[in-house]
Amino acid sequence: MDIVEGPFGLRFIKIDSSQIYLGIDKGAWVYASERPRHRVDLPAFMILESPISRTQFAQIIGEKDDSNELKDMITHDDVEMVCRKLAEHFDDDVRRPSQAEWKAAESLINLPCGWTELLADEATGNHRGATLDGRPRVGEMIGPMSGHRVSQSAHPSREGVYAQVTTPGDRPLPKVGFRLVVSPKRFGEAPRVPDNANLATNIRSELFWTTILGIIPSFTIPILRGFSSYAIDGWANLLFGGLCAGFVTGAFWRPKRATWGLDSEGKVIQIKD
């Protein structure tokens, strides 16, 4: 692990360039908020070993606090103030980590049990429109949710166990802190996962699997049990039952969806595993 000593006693870990997969490719409806799966191409960057402490926070903004406890009760404005101060010491961007950057460093960084860490990305409903170069996803949400951020929350008692949650960052909360990354500046429009799924393809797929898993079994079962006449007389009931069965199966299983990423020329493509 390569440690870089920064100003104000900050300890950064150097993370090599890497590719990180976010989201899942399962096709069932219950996974809709976690799709689509995508590969993020990350340049090398530095990330704080631990979240900002009260002492470090005070030193950065020119105040005094001798406590070594982590700094909580912070807001977006507090974080931005710290970033502006630290930006004077670095040529690259200083900000909170994106989801991909945090995942790339997860095995090397510390987050105490019971604490939650605010990341840079706004809390969106799914990964449609997610960036593919590691920069944060911001400036898309309006209304009350615009202040919320994707966060990592540590298990209350088990070290190294984290859950991704959504946390408001526009009001101070206990045991909610932050860490920073020093990441290369990106210029131009960010490459992104397509905003919309292929609706026609999804409809055709749903009709096919509803027929195979719902409608056909609904008619086949009474015929195999010797009730062939009911397959004719009660076709409306069987059709409705088959549609319901097909609908329910879609909640738990459908074929895998596409994974998105960048090719060698930086173009957005579907990745074949």
pLDDT value of position 240? 93
The list of the chain residues with pLDDT below 50 reads none
pLDDT value of position 273? 65
pLDDT value of position 37? 97
Q: What is the pLDDT of residues 200-226, one digit of tens each?
A: 888 999 999 999 999 999 999 988 888
Q: What is the pLDDT of residues 31-83, one digit of tens each?
A: 999 999 999 999 999 999 999 999 999 999 999 988 889 999 999 999 999 99
pLDDT value of position 142? 86
pLDDT value of position 229? 85
CATH superfamily of 3-183: paralog of FGE (formylglycine-generating enzyme) (3.90.1580.10)
Where in the chain is CATH 3.90.1580.10? Answer: 3-183
E strands, the chain, in order: 3-5, 11-15, 18-22, 37-42, 45-48, 93-95, 116-122, 148-154, 162-168, 176-177, 181-183, 259-262, 268-271
pLDDT value of position 143? 85
Cα separation, 136 vs 13, whole angstroms: 19
pLDDT value of position 61? 94
CB hemisphere CA count around 223 (13 angstroms): 9
E strands, 28-132, in order: 37-42, 45-48, 93-95, 116-122
